[in-house]
Chains A and B, each alone.
Chain A
Amino acid sequence: MVAAARTASPPAERLPGARRVEQIMGLPIVVDARDADDPAALDEIFEWFRLVDRTFSTFIPDSEISRLNRGELALVDAHADVRTVLARCEDLRSETNGYFDVRARDRHTVDPSGLVKGWSVDRAAEIADGLGWRNYAINAGGDIRLRGGALPEPVWRVGIQHPTLRQKVAAVVASDDLAVATSGEYSRGEHVLDPHTGRPPAGVLSVTITGPELATADAYATAAFAMGVAGPAWTARLGRYGAMTILADERVLKTPAFARSAGSNIAPSAG
């Protein structure tokens, strides 16, 4: 699976710390904690993701989101996390001129899964910080939050998947504190549609956003991809969030913030 951690040298069994992959929310979630001595330390993180799934899944009939959509639960009675996420979705909808819209497919129900993934990884990173980890990476279906380094390396090296040659990477981002989200086509056969036209965007193969928070980075990536060829101009104004857009004619456009946060010239240390 592309989302799985690809290990640089040394081989996996000799890597420091603990790591695990679990399939939750329909995604492979990888937690790689280089300074966690006990694999059981990962339990708390995965338990959090399972709780998020039980609360937000549109596939689980008694999740809070399913009950909200059936009118059995009033928003005021929903869990604080649910209200936080839905309020954030509204903020991001106006911030992205309606291109990030959790109500895009069906005006009567909400499916905030586009934000829940990134938001839950941000919260998982808070849990990891609380556990005292300083060198870890969390990868939820290709959207990543990292801190410190892939010990013994001083940084994490994130490959941005090549849009057509799936075993290759189109760029490498090296950082010790970053969120990275890429939007192209979603998994499970879902398309990112332009909510204004209801059609897939044209001319753009993928958009990668880097920045401090994964929830925001993921929403920006979804929105910029949905904008199609208008996306690159929009990403140029994203402040602390950097963007790399790969166009269908194989041009790659990077904002100054992407080049800065990427630090893409950091070479892997020898040995």
Chain B
Amino acid sequence: MRTAIAVVLTTAALALPTVDAWAAATAQKTVPKKKVVTVRKSFTGTASQAGRWGDLQVTIVVKKTTTTVIATKKKTVTRKVTSVRVPVYPDHTDRSVFINEQALPILAQETLSAQSSSVDLVSGATDTSYAFQSSLQSAILQAKSW
């Protein structure tokens, strides 16, 4: 899951053009020929259904840099994702569950534990990563048209 998020974020950063570092550096050496304006705005993706965990919604903060070459009035706009926030999942674990008492003597009962064991493979459902990608994608699309 963590890997999936990292991959998605890398893609997100690449999808928006980054600041042209070379152009910025050369501009510094000469007398003011450029005007650079930086603004930040946050975008919230559509709420995506993350299985039984309820809706998952991603908010990104985008930094928009507008560089104007004074002589030609040519404008260059770059946008970069500077942060991604995901609200916590709703807590569904406080409900008591009544199961068929007849089954209890046969079944070994434990309390759920969270381990970080080293494993070769993971068996489970993949719904939350899909919801995350879907919500993030919609937030990025909004930022692109800003």
The residues of A with any CB-CB pair to B shorter than 8 Å are: 1-9, 28, 30, 32, 137, 139, 141-144, 146, 150, 153, 156-173, 180-189, 191, 200, 203-206, 208, 229-230, 232-233, 236, 246-256, 259, 268
Partner of B109, one of A6, A188, A208, A253: A253
B10 at the interface (CB under 8 A from A): no
Q: Do A157 and B111 touch across chains, with their CB atoms under 8 A apart? A: no
Binds A, one of B1-9, B13-21, B26-34, B68-76: B1-9
Chain A residues near B126 (CB, 8 Å)?
1-3, 28, 141-142, 187
Binds A, one of B36-44, B59-67, B93-101: B93-101
CB distance from A171 to the nearest CB of B (A): 8
Q: Do B122 and A158 touch across chains, with their CB atoms under 8 A apart? A: yes
Partner of A252, one of B48, B49, B110, B118: B110
Contacts A169-B117, A249-B93 supplied; 10 other A-B pairs, CB < 8 Å: A6-B119, A30-B121, A139-B122, A158-B121, A159-B121, A172-B117, A184-B125, A185-B127, A203-B99, A233-B102
Q: Do B117 and A159 touch across chains, with their CB atoms under 8 A apart? A: yes
Q: Do A9 and B118 touch across chains, with their CB atoms under 8 A apart? A: yes
Chain B residues near A3 (CB, 8 Å)?
122, 124, 126
CB distance from B104 to the nearest CB of A (A): 8
CB distance from A174 to the nearest CB of B (A): 9
CB contact under 8 A between A180 and B107, given known A162-B114, A167-B1, A200-B52: no
B131 at the interface (CB under 8 A from A): yes
CB distance from A113 to the nearest CB of B (A): 15
Q: Do B97 and A180 touch across chains, with their CB atoms under 8 A apart? A: no
Chain B residues near A30 (CB, 8 Å)?
121
CA distance A32 to B129 in the complex (A): 22
CB distance from B55 to the nearest CB of A (A): 11
Q: Do B4 and A251 touch across chains, with their CB atoms under 8 A apart? A: no
Chain A residues near B108 (CB, 8 Å)?
253-256, 259
Interface size class of B (residues with CB under 8 A): 35 or more
CB contact under 8 A between A233 and B100, given known A6-B119, A159-B121, A252-B110: yes
CB contact under 8 A between A159 and B123, given known A166-B1, A167-B1, A170-B112: yes
CB distance from B74 to the nearest CB of A (A): 42
CB contact under 8 A between A248 and B129, given known A166-B1, A169-B119: no
Q: Do B93 and A248 touch across chains, with their CB atoms under 8 A apart? A: yes
Partner of A236, one of B52, B103, B120: B103
CA distance A168 to B122 in the complex (A): 10
Partner of B107, one of A171, A200, A255: A255
Q: Do B120 and A247 touch across chains, with their CB atoms under 8 A apart? A: no
CA distance A150 to B119 in the complex (A): 10
- List the A residue with the shortest CB-CB distance to B52: A185
Q: Do B107 and A168 touch across chains, with their CB atoms under 8 A apart? A: no
CB contact under 8 A between A144 and B121, given known A248-B97, A249-B93: yes
Q: Do A165 and B114 touch across chains, with their CB atoms under 8 A apart? A: yes
Chain A residues near B128 (CB, 8 Å)?
166
CB contact under 8 A between A168 and B114, given known A156-B121, A157-B120, A203-B97: yes
CA distance A138 to B4 in the complex (A): 19
CA distance A214 to B52 in the complex (A): 25
- List the A residue with the shortest CB-CB distance to B1: A166
- List the A residue with the shortest CB-CB distance to B49: A189
Q: Do B99 and A164 touch across chains, with their CB atoms under 8 A apart? A: no
Chain B residues near A230 (CB, 8 Å)?
99-100
Partner of A142, one of B49, B107, B124: B124
Give 7 A-B contacts (CB < 8 Å), ordered by A residue.
A1-B3, A8-B119, A160-B124, A169-B115, A170-B115, A204-B97, A254-B109
